[in-house]
Amino acid sequence: MTLSEMYLALLVGGAVLLVSIVAAHTAHRIGLPSLLLFLAVGVVAGEDGAGLEFDNAQLAQALGTAALGLILVEGGLSTRWEDVRRQLAPAGVLATVGVGLSVVVTAAGAHWLLGMDWQLALLLAAIVSSTDAAAVFAVLRALPLPQKLTGLVESESGFNDAPTIILVLVFSTMETDPSSPWLLGLNLLYQLAVGGLLGVLTGRLGAAALRHIALPATGLYPLATVGFGVIAFAAAGAVNASGIIAAYLSGLVLGNAQLPHRAATRSFAEGVGWLAQIGLFVMLGLLVDPSELPSAIVPALVVGSVLLFVARPVSVALCLLPFPIPWREQTFISWAGLRGAVPIVLTTFPIVAGIDGARDVLNIVFLLVILFTLIQGPTLPTVARHLRLVRAGALREIQVETAPLDVLDADLLTVAIPEGSRLHGVAVFELRLPPPTVITLIVRDGTSLVPDRETVLRAGDELLLITTPDTRDAAERRLRAIGRRGKLARWLGEDGAPEPEAVTPARPD
C-alpha cells in the first residue's frame, strides 16, 4: 500500500466512523438500537451504494470474532458482580439448555414451514439462537429495571455465544465430519470449562499485577486492563476453548477488582467497545448485497416469528422452571432476547465452509436481525411498564471511585517523625500548615487513625498529607521548621529551608 492509498483509506475510515457516531446519536434520540443505523451505514457505503466492495467472508469472520471479544471484555468490565452472582445458575441453564431448545424448535419451524433441508434448518436455527451481548448491554442499561433481572439477561447474553458457536461449527461440518452427541457434549464442556477457567485466572492475575505495579502514566492502566482481557480471549482461542467466555469473565473479574483509575478504565473500555461495534456492524453491512435481500424477506419473517413467539418463550419457561422467577420477569426475558452482531458474524462460518445455501442464510439472518430489532428494541420499555417491572422513581446506585490524585491536581506526601524530632508533642492545629494542605491519616504502632485538630503527634508516627503542587514546598518547609525548632520555629527565625548539600573540597593537584 502506498502512502496516498493509506491516506485515502484513513480518510474513508474516519468519515465512516464520524458518520456512525452521528448515527448513534440519532438512534439514541429516536429510541432505536444503534446497530441498525451502523448496519445501514455499511449497506450505503457498499457496492450498491457508495461503491466500496467487500465480500471476503473469511476476513469478516476473523475481524468479527475479534470485535466480539472486545465487546465482551467491555461488557464484563461494566458489569457488577453483585448483580450477576445470584443469577449464575439460571443464566447458565438459559445459555446452554435454552440455546439447545431454541435450536430444535426454530429448526423444526424452518424445515416444516419453509421446506429447508435439516442441515440448513439446524444451521440457521443455531445462528439465531443466542441473544446478542452488544445489543442487550446497550438497551437494558438504559432501563430502570430490577438489578437481578438485568443481571440475568446480561449474563445469559455473555455466556450463550460459546455454545452457539460450537453448534454452528458442528452443523457447518456435519457432512464431512460427523460427530456423536457424546463428542459434541464433551467439546461443549471443554470449551466452557477451559475458557471460563482461563478468563478467571487471567482476570485475577491482571488485578494482582495492576494493584502492585505503579505505572508511569494514568493512561497505561486502561490499556493494561483491556490488554489482559484480550490475552484471556486469545489464550482460550489458542487452545480451542471459548475465547468469548474467557473475554467476558476476565472483564468481569477486572471490573469488580479494586483497581486504580477505575473510572478512566471504564471510559476507555466503553470507547473501545463502541469502536468495535461500529467497525463490526459497518463491515457486516458491507458484506451484504442489497439486491439479494428481497427474496429473503418472507423466510426472515417466518423464522423470526417462530423464534420470537414460540422457541424463545418455550425455552425460557422450561429452563426457568426450577427457579423462583415470577412469570412477569420470564415474559420480559423472552421478549428481551435481542439479536445483533453475533448471528450475522456466525453466518460467515458456513460461507467459509462452502455450505450450499450459505449466502441465503446470510440474507435471511441479516433481515431477521433488522426486522425483529425494530420490533423488540423500541418496545422493551413499554413491555417493561406493562409488566410492572420498571421501578418508579428509581435512583441509580452511587458510584464510589478511587480518585486519581492527578485528576485532583494534588500530591500525596508521607512524613515519618523520627526520635528526637521537635514534632513530638505538637498538636495538628499547631502545625498551621498552608491551606489546603491537610493530614488525612496517621499510622501509629501499626494501626491507623484519622486525626482531628487536637490530635497530638508522637515520635514514630507516619503522616499522610494531601497538598497541591503550589503549596507543597511551603508545607514541607513548615514541617521541617517545626521538626528542628518546635512550634515556635517561626519566632525563632527557622524557615525550614533544606539543608545545603555538602560540597566535597577539590583535591589539590
- Predicted local distance difference test score (pLDDT) of residue 197: 94
CA torsion angle 281 285 287 292 (round to 10): 150
Q: How many domains does the chain have?
A: 2
Residues 328, 251 share a domain: yes
* Pairing outcome for strands 438-444 and 411-416: unpaired
Q: Is residue 242 part of a domain?
A: yes
Q: Which residue, 308, 305, 318, is CA-closest to 98?
A: 318
Cβ atoms within 10 Å, residue 383: 17
Q: Which CATH number characterizes residue 367's domain?
A: 1.20.1530.20
Residue ending a domain, choose from 354, 386, 418? 386
b/e code 240-253 from CB counts within 10 Å (16+ = b) = ebbbbbbbbbbbbb
Q: Is residue 212 part of a domain?
A: yes
CA distance 395 to 369: 32
Which domain covers residue 217, as residue numbers?
Answer: 3-386
Residues 429, 314 share a domain: no
Residues 189, 129 share a domain: yes
**Least confident segment among 241-245, 314-318, 343-347, 501-505:** 501-505
- Predicted local distance difference test score (pLDDT) of residue 231: 95
- What does the DSSP 8-state code read for residue 217? S
Q: Which CATH number characterizes residue 464's domain?
A: 3.30.70.1450
CA distance 436 to 38: 49
CA distance 48 to 44: 7
Share of the chain above pLDDT 90, in %: 16
Q: Is residue 505 part of a domain?
A: no
Q: What average pLDDT does the segment 345-354 reach? A: 84
CB 168 within 8 A of CB 126: yes
- The number of C-alpha atoms within 13 Å of 209 and in the hemisphere containing its C-beta is 14
**Least confident segment among 101-110, 124-133, 136-145, 226-235:** 136-145
pTM of the model as a whole: 0.68
Residues 433, 371 share a domain: no
Residues 88, 40 share a domain: yes
Residues 303, 425 share a domain: no
Residues 467, 354 share a domain: no
Residues 207, 128 share a domain: yes
Q: Is residue 490 part of a domain?
A: no
- Give the cell for residue 76: 464484563
Residues 117, 227 share a domain: yes
Q: Is residue 234 part of a domain?
A: yes
Residues 422, 380 share a domain: no
Given a cut of 80, whether residue 278 has pLDDT beyond it is yes
Residues 444, 317 share a domain: no
- Predicted local distance difference test score (pLDDT) of residue 182: 67
CA separation (Å) from 311 to 126, 130, 308, 344?
Answer: 12, 12, 6, 19
Q: Is residue 44 part of a domain?
A: yes
Residues whose CB falls within 8 Å of the CB of residue 113, separated by 6 or more in sequence, listed in order: 302, 306
**pLDDT for 180-200, tens place per residue?**
566 767 777 888 889 889 999
CA distance 108 to 494: 91
Q: Is residue 151 part of a domain?
A: yes
Q: Is residue 275 part of a domain?
A: yes
Residues 456, 329 share a domain: no
Alpha helices in 85-180 (DSSP H): 88-93, 99-114, 118-128, 133-140, 147-159, 161-172
